[in-house]
Chain A
Amino acid sequence: MTGKPESAAPAGAAPDSGQGTAPAPAVAGRVQQSAAALIILAVACWVAIVSFDVEDPQPYLFPQLLSGFMVALSLMALQRALRGKNRTGAGIGGGQFLNIAAGLAVMLVYVFALADWLGFYSAAFIAMLTLYSLYDPQPHGSVRTWAVRLAVTVGFVAVIYAVFALGLKVQTPEGILF
């Protein structure tokens, strides 16, 4: 559950670990690692092309230098990945991707469509309730489940409103609702 899976499960799990022994970190395979390195190489090449294809090179001195480093480093990463020497990062499994896909969709719709159009607070309410309900293990059929979900969402959005609108006087986009 950390931003860096490999470091959360160190070789000799620390003695005060409350979760028992962590499983050995899975490492993504050669194909996935190589694909990742290729994508970064592509970005690096794009940065290089943009940086060198300019009329006035002076402001682009740093980008040019940097893109050189980026291309070299991503080539190194690619070479290591191809030889199967890249041993950090668990990669992404198909099932795992399906699990997060719904969440990603909620995030993107929330930020790129709802927030500005509906208004910041109503969009926050909808996004939070949707994301929470989608991943809540409680049964969807029960009234109690929905009561809890609604109460938690309304409560949190109210706290956010109190902090940002009343306390900090932040003016958020109003949209068509609120």
Chain B
Amino acid sequence: MEFLDHFGAVFTWSSMLILCAGTIGGLLLGATPGLSPTMAVALLIPFTFHMDPAQGLMLLGAAYTSTVAGGAVSAILLNIPGAPANIATALDGNIMARKGAGARALQICFISSAIGGVLGILVLIFLTPVLASWALKFGPSHLFWVAILGVTIIGTLDSKSVVKGLLAGCIGLWIAMIGSDSIQGVERFIFTEELEGGVHIIAALIGLFAIPQVIEMLEGGRKDPRRTVFEVRRANIWRSALETVSKVRALVIGGVVGTVIGLIPGAGGQIAGLVAYDQSRRFSRNSAKYGTGESEGVVAAESANNAMVGPSLVPLLTLSVPGSPTAAVLLGGLLIHGIFPGPDLFQKHAAVAFSFINSMLIGQILMLIFGLAIAGLAAKVIEVKPPILASAILVLAVFGSYSVQNSMADVAIMLVLGIGMYFLARYGFSPAPLVLGIILGPIAEHNYVQGRIIGEAQDGIAPYFLTGWLNILLIALVVLSLVYSIVSEIRVKRQERAAAAEAAS
């Protein structure tokens, strides 16, 4: 309970001011397409140069927690996930917003974020010593199977047709292979100079989600008789809170999946939301409603996203090993103040380490308060007239994708992918499996290549990938996931046939 002794440092005027500024700034940055939590934290580090270490880290901690939640705002309102983590939030959240429940979706999102986030930080506080060594056990073979496990959900994710879902996933896997590869030292599929650096996931994300959105707003032409302005109904915070808390199953799945995936270094918290969404749908009684504006989907995705934040710092704080890109940036923020994470961090710099962790805990609460405060107002965004919204999103997409790497090539890639995605969407393809392919492709391939080299040095490639309890457990999960997909596909087919027979008679 040592962390309780260090709350004093957080509850001072200057610290609270920094925390509030970090939280509000983080929410706004997170809601801007192109500004992922990693970018936001990196941009804030120079500001901490002139602060004392504890307060500098409070700013980073608060910003990290709130950008993860902020990314959900644009995902829900505009169907543009602020970061890969928020893709799953968009699947049901955006449809809720279209049905007038934008304010309610935002409230549910912030409440489940806070629940997941607090859970994750509690794991960080209490289980760090136990979990740190466990997190290190994940080697290339395990990460390879984790990626394959992710691939198995591609086919059923947000697609009515399994073939098209898988095909979209394959296109994503291929896009991920473009560029020069530092692990194998090869340059693949670089047919124009712009592709030299490969396709950055954030640029792809903006293109695939935002641009089809823009084009669809233009479909009706100048005088569109069908054009309707979305309404935004007011929502009662207490009712939203009650609704969130009643989704116990989704919260538990989100919390557990987020925590476990957050702990695995290199798996990338990017997929936590999607995996939790998929699992929650599989175990839900109203799984058919997923994808039609089911708040349970938002709860699962957002609780997982934020549950991931705390555990993703476990390997960083105890072993100085950053498990995610954001953790790597945070490492820089710690080092600049002369704080070396490691097993003795909590003895040597207890005050700083605990005020950092406590600030994230308080940050979750502040995020909830500010998030709920802006939910009603933010939801009004979708009342803006389509021509204005379309042109504004276009400009925002261009600036967002440019600012990721200061690269005009990224803007070009963003637009080309976006226009391509619009046409694909017209034929029943969906961007979510495509993005999942882009994320998982490099994880699977890099770890396969590393595993092959290590396996060859040991007893051979097959034993390396197929033996050991962790490998076998993961393979079992892969098989289970596949069997489940096939069974549910058959069930859907049977229902369709029955319905058709009924209609015919």
Contact = CB atoms under 8 A, between A and B. Distances in A.
A169 B490 CA distance: 54
Interface in A59-73: 59-60, 62-63, 66-67, 69-70, 73
B406 A116 contact: no
Contacts of B388: 132, 152
B419 interface: yes
Interface string B200-233: 0000000001011111111111111001101101
Contact of B402 (A4, A60, A120): A120
Contact of A63 (B158, B174, B213, B399): B174
Interface string B395-419: 1101100110010100110010001
A2 B94 contact: yes
A5 to B, nearest CB: 7
Contacts of A4: 158, 425, 428, 430
B412 A112 contact: yes
B124 interface: no
Nearest to B211: A107
B421 interface: yes
B291 interface: yes
A120 B401 CA distance: 13
A19 B174 contact: no
A73 B166 contact: yes
Interface string A163-178: 1100010111100000
Interface string A90-130: 11100110111011100110111001100010001001110
A170 B406 contact: yes
Interface string B152-166: 000000111101101
B387 A40 contact: no
B218 A132 contact: no
A14 interface: yes
Interface stretch (B98-106, B133-141, B321-329, B481-489): B98-106
A138 B431 CA distance: 33
Nearest to A33: B427
A168 B36 CA distance: 13
* Secondary structure call for the B interface: helix
B431 A3 contact: yes
Contacts of A74: 167
Given A70-B174, A124-B395, A89 B429 contact: yes
Given A47-B174, A66-B170, A70-B174, A111 B398 contact: yes
Q: Which of B293, B419, B427, B429 has most chain A Cβ within 10 Å?
A: B427
B421 A131 contact: no
Contact of A8 (B98, B211, B215, B391): B98
B215 A104 contact: yes
A160 interface: yes
Given A4-B430, A14-B293, A115 B167 contact: no
A103 B242 CA distance: 44
Interface residues of A, number: 83
B188 A90 contact: no
Given A14-B293, A134-B222, A90 B402 contact: no
B387 A16 contact: no
Nearest to B35: A168
Contacts of B403: 164, 168, 170
B167 A17 contact: no
B364 interface: no
Most chain B Cβ neighbours within 10 Å, of A102, A104, A107, A164:
A107
Contacts of B209: 3
Contacts of A107: 211, 214, 394, 415, 419
Interface in A14-49: 14, 16-19, 28, 32-33, 36, 40, 43-44, 47
B303 interface: no
B339 interface: no
Nearest to B415: A111
Contacts of B214: 103, 107
A121 to B, nearest CB: 9
A88 B406 contact: no
Query: Nearest 5 A-B pairs (CB), nearest first?
Result: A88-B428, A89-B428, A18-B100, A99-B221, A89-B427
Interface of B: 32, 35, 43, 79, 94-95, 98-101, 158-161, 163-164, 166-167, 170-171, 173-174, 177, 181, 184-186, 188-189, 209, 211-224, 227-228, 230-231, 233, 289, 291-293, 385-388, 390-392, 394-396, 398-399, 402-403, 406, 408, 411-412, 415, 419, 421, 423, 425-431, 441, 444-445, 448
5 contacts: A6-B160, A40-B167, A70-B167, A70-B171, A96-B219
Given A172-B402, A173-B408, 11 more contacts: A3-B79, A14-B99, A32-B427, A47-B189, A62-B448, A104-B215, A104-B419, A116-B408, A127-B391, A131-B390, A170-B402
